[in-house]
Amino acid sequence: MTSTQGVKTILHPVTDLEKAKPVYAALLGIEPMADSPYYVGFEAEGQQIGLVPNSDLTSPTAYWHVTDIEAKIADITAAGGTLKDAPKDVGGGRLVATLTDPDGNVLGILQDPS
């Protein structure tokens, strides 16, 4: 079984980035470190808080950082989880995937490039 590096990324689906951005900036007390039409990201105390427009996300999703995404998917599915979204590169070699637990809760996993 492979270990995780903890929850370091939480993605929030938004319908309007321009309206959401100042709300999260006020909440976190900082300006975004990444600001594009497809993603706005904040780094607060070592956590990445991302705003994602036009996403399949239906609620905020916590992403557990892992060193081997395929091994972690194998661990979770062997334990009874179900793969929801296969790993995909979201830029710069960063891979993300989602699974669900037996109750349908979404588990995000994320692997940064080595």
Provide the pLDDT for residue 100.
95
Parent domain of 36: 4-111
- Return d(Cα 27, Cα 45) in angstroms, integer: 13
Question: Rounded to 5 degrees, what are φ and ψ at 40?
Answer: -120, 125
Contact 70, 77 (CB under 8 A): no
Q: How many domains does the chain have?
A: 1
Measure Cα distances from 3 to 46, 70, 73, 108 in Å. 19, 12, 12, 14
Residues 6-27: tens digit of each pLDDT: 999 999 999 999 999 999 999 9
The amino acid sitting at 35 is: D
In this structure, what CATH number is given to the domain that contains residue 87? 3.10.180.10
Is 22 strand, coil or helix?
Answer: helix
Average pLDDT value for the chain = 94
Identify the pLDDT of residue 82: 97
pLDDT digits (tens, 9 = 90+) for 45-76: 999 999 999 888 888 999 999 999 999 999 99
Radius of gyration of the chain from Cα atoms?
14
Name 34's bridge partners: 41
Checking if the pLDDT of 81 tops 90, the result is yes
